Amino acid sequence: MDQLALLLSQSWPVLLDGLWISLQLLLLSCVLGFALAVPLAVARSSPRRWIALPSRLFMSAFRGTPLLVQIFILYYGLAQFEWVRDSALWLLVGDAFPCALLALTLNLAAYMAEDIRGGILGVPAGEKEAATAFGMSRLMVTWYIVVPRAIGISAPTLGNEIVLQLKSTALASTITVLDLTGVARRLSIESYTTDALLLAGLLYIVIAAVLSLLTRYGEARLNRHQLR
């Protein structure tokens, strides 16, 4: 225990830096992932095959392969091609942090889209019918009725995804991003012990617990107009 305390007192600046990077990856990927997930889910639920198919393929690809493989493909795989290095895409995958963020965002979007799709299926048909009866176009029905309702229904699952995403950010350390896990590994290698890793684990648990509370509060507020 005292070894952990000693480690904390010596290395807390770098650990804090690493933690900040992890939190940045988490927050940005959640916001961007959610923004991408909504149109993906709507497209996936569309009755028109030419809209639904690309969305299906995207979701199958990103949910059916490990995040680590996705990270390696984006970071090392794309760098193999000259045309990628010369294009605007390089701004995204050239540096380790944006590349990790991209992988985390795309991955999360696929999972969130599946959850929101479940929510879309759960929207009561009566509400959609009422909206159409009022003369709303299909687009208006989708934007004003279906999407908000679906997000409300899938809120608990989405909150869960956010807490899980914290754990996924740890994989950014595999492409030299110095997040909390990356810093902990460096410290662990220098000292030949696993104390730094255990400390990092403790920090992750604390953050996950805080996130759990925040997301549950968020869900309650989102659905506060629902009769329980």
Residues that bind other proteins (CB under 8 A): 60-61, 64-70, 72-73, 76-81, 85, 94-96, 166-171, 173-174, 176, 181, 184-186, 188-189, 192, 194, 197-198, 200-201, 204-205, 208-209
207: part of which helix (H) or strand (E)?
helix 195-222
Shortest Å distance, C-beta 35 to other proteins: 24
DSSP annotation string for 24-87: HHHHHHHHHHHHHHHHHHHHHT-S-HHHHHHHHHHHHHHHSS-HHHHHHIIIIIHHT-HHHHHS
Residue type, 69: V
Kindly tell me which of 36 and 187 has the beta carbon lying closer to other proteins. 187
Which residue in this structure is represented by tokens 């997301």? 215
- Burial label, 6 (beta-carbon count in 10 A; 0-12, 13-18, 19+): exposed
Q: How far is CA 146 from CA 115, 185, 188, in A?
A: 14, 45, 49
CB atoms within 10 A of CB 221: 10
Rounded to a whole number of angstroms, the minimum distance from the CB of residue 99 to other proteins is: 10
> In angstroms, what is the minimal distance from the CB of 160 to other proteins?
11
**Nearest distance, CB of residue 133 and other proteins, angstroms:** 27
CB of 214 to other proteins, least distance (A): 15
**Of the two residues 141 and 182, which places its CB atom closer to other proteins in the complex?**
182
Minimum CB distance to other proteins smaller for 10 or for 194: 194
